[in-house]
Amino acid sequence: MEKENFFEEGGSGVAKRIDREDLVVKSIQGEELEASNIENKLDENDNNLNGFPKKETANTNVESSQMVMDKTQRVLYSKKNQEYWTDKKDSSLESAYAMIAPDIPLVNVEHKELFLEKCAKYYKEMEQDALGIKKIDRWDEYEIERMFGKGLNPTSLKTALNNIKYLVENISSDNDTVRVVEFGPGSGWSTLMLRNQLHKKFPNKKIELISVDKSPHSVVATQNSLDYYEIPWQTEIRDGNVETIPDKDKYVTLVLDDFVEFANKQPNNYFDGYFSSHGTAYLSEQEYEKLLASIKTNGKPGAVFVADSLDPLYTVKLDTLHLVLCSIFPSISKNMQEYTYGKSLLSNSKYFPGQEVKKLTRVHNAESELFYNWNNYLLSKLKLKYILQMLKSIRITTDVIEEYREDVYPSYLVNNLVKKEALNNWEEMKNLPECPLYITNCAFRLKK
Ligand SMILES: C[S@@+](CC[C@H](N)C(=O)[O-])C[C@H]1O[C@@H](n2cnc3c(N)ncnc32)[C@H](O)[C@@H]1O
């Protein structure tokens, strides 16, 4: 194999040459990146720096030595970080969850603090090792905690899963590789489901899943969620053009970038699908238009775009006692009306000023049923602390709905947007999965 020279730039602004002949290649072939080997390699190269000052910060402690950066600042998963979670998992809890909420990932709530600690560590390392890492207002560590909470209850993930399945079913590719972009992995729940569904639908094809997020906090949270499930990942920090990223079929590839900027950089006719669960919803109408126009220009004929979002005209303020009652007796919820409404609010959304916002206080649908059944299982196992965390997590989810809905550009407005002349290659698709009232989805196929 030909030797390549890579330059790593550190926070201190110095650059050093590291010889990566087999550092990265080994891991690409699925072998473990041995911390000690990498440290030795780095030490060796430190002695060959021909005039470059020795770098003090990056790759000096054990954890960061497992991450290897190249000149475009790529971070690779380490097997050690993934194995960290192995003995912490509770297989009986996971199998019970898989029966109640099939295809939805579970992270044990008892690991919440550990998970957040690991995220903080990854973030610190990224900040130290890569240039220009800065927190993004709103999508910061506080948000990671809230996004982590979302994964603790299956309700909102079920909607994302339905939309993911719809996307995957509608992808048709004659190539040996299926290529999909996810916009806004958040803390990685949708990424995990998307990755699993793609592998399930296309067992004999190579899969390239590229998840793009501008928030380093979200990227490290997704790294961590992938670690938890022992899924190899690589993170591209600088150059979001996928042509420059190697071995995308070996890893889930995370790209730190803005959605529109990422879309503009991509090669022609490359991706088969685009997915976003509550990600592109935070673009303004103008930005959304730019995104769809960009994909229209370089996108592949027949490519599918599926997204979901909150509906700014609904909010959810659930009655806790009722939640507890349905958790004790899940079957009673089956005979109850789907939605009960509280006192409406007035919208401050720039898209719907002054319009009525309906408040839901009780919800009985396929999504809430999962929550009730899961709580019921936890009750039967006397996991009371766990249930309290679940109730807290559903409260966080409903708080987020209330806080965010005003900013959201809902999926049904995207249906109007694509009617514009400039976007008219996007054809609206039919038979989308039904969402709960407070969520809305959209799907389009690119006709060229
Ligand atoms: C609510 S979270 C997504 C949650 C995740 N998809 C899930 O279903 O759990 C939205 C994510 O989109 C990212 N995001 C929002 N606007 C963005 C933009 N213009 N470019 C890149 N990332 C963006 C945020 O950083 C955040 O991580």
Q: Average the pLDDT over 381-387 and give the result.
A: 90
Give the Å distance between the CA of 129 and the centre of ligand 1.
23
CB 160 less than 6 A from any atom of ligand 1: yes
CA-nearest residue for atom 10, ligand 1, is: 279
What pLDDT is stored for residue 217 in this prediction?
A: 96
Give the Å distance between the CA of 340 and the centre of ligand 1.
30
Dist. CA 21–CA 25, nearest whole Å: 7
Which residue has 């699908």 as its token pair?
Answer: 273
Give the Å distance between the CA of 183 and the centre of ligand 1.
7
Give the Å distance between the CA of 127 and the centre of ligand 1.
20
Q: Average the pLDDT over 429-445 and give the result.
A: 97
15 compared with 211, residue with greater pLDDT: 211
Contacts of 57 (CB under 8 A, 6+ apart): 10, 11, 12, 128, 129
Q: Average the pLDDT over 260-285 and give the result.
A: 97
Q: CATH 3.40.50.150 residue ranges in the chain?
A: 109-311+408-446
Give the Å distance between the CA of 122 and the centre of ligand 1.
18
Give the Å distance between the CA of 276 and the centre of ligand 1.
8
Nearest-5° Cα angle at 307, 372 to 288: 140
109-311+408-446 to CATH, choices 3.40.50.12160, 3.40.50.150, 3.30.420.40, 3.40.50.970: 3.40.50.150
Pocket test for ligand 1, best of 164, 222, 264, 282 (most atoms within 8 A of CB): 282
CB 108 less than 6 A from any atom of ligand 1: no
CB 288 less than 6 A from any atom of ligand 1: no
The pLDDT-based confidence of 16 (bands split at 50, 70, 90) is: very low
CB 277 less than 6 A from any atom of ligand 1: yes
Dist. CA 117–CA 37, nearest whole Å: 26
Q: Average the pLDDT over 279-288 and give the result.
A: 98
CB 274 less than 6 A from any atom of ligand 1: no
What pLDDT is stored for residue 123 in this prediction?
A: 95
Yes or no: say if 21 and 38 are a contact pair by the CB < 8 Å rule: no
CB 213 less than 6 A from any atom of ligand 1: yes
51 class by beta-carbon count within 10 Å (0-12 exposed, 13-18 middle, 19+ buried)? exposed
Largest CA-CA distance found in the chain, in angstroms, rounded: 76
In the predicted model, is pLDDT for residue 11 greater than 60?
no
From the list 124, 120, 123, 118, the residue with the least C-alpha distance to 85 is 118
From the list 362, 270, 353, the residue with the least C-alpha distance to 321 is 362
305-336 pLDDT tens trace: 999 999 999 999 999 999 999 999 999 998 89
In the predicted model, is pLDDT for residue 20 greater than 70?
no
CB 258 less than 6 A from any atom of ligand 1: yes
In the predicted model, is pLDDT for residue 2 greater than 60?
no
- Report, in this order, helix, strand and coil percent for the chain, each rounded to 5: 45, 15, 35
30-44, 133-147, 240-254, 376-390, range with the lowest pLDDT: 30-44
Nearest-5° Cα angle at 180, 179 to 185: 145
Give the Å distance between the CA of 448 and the centre of ligand 1.
29
Give the Å distance between the CA of 136 and the centre of ligand 1.
11
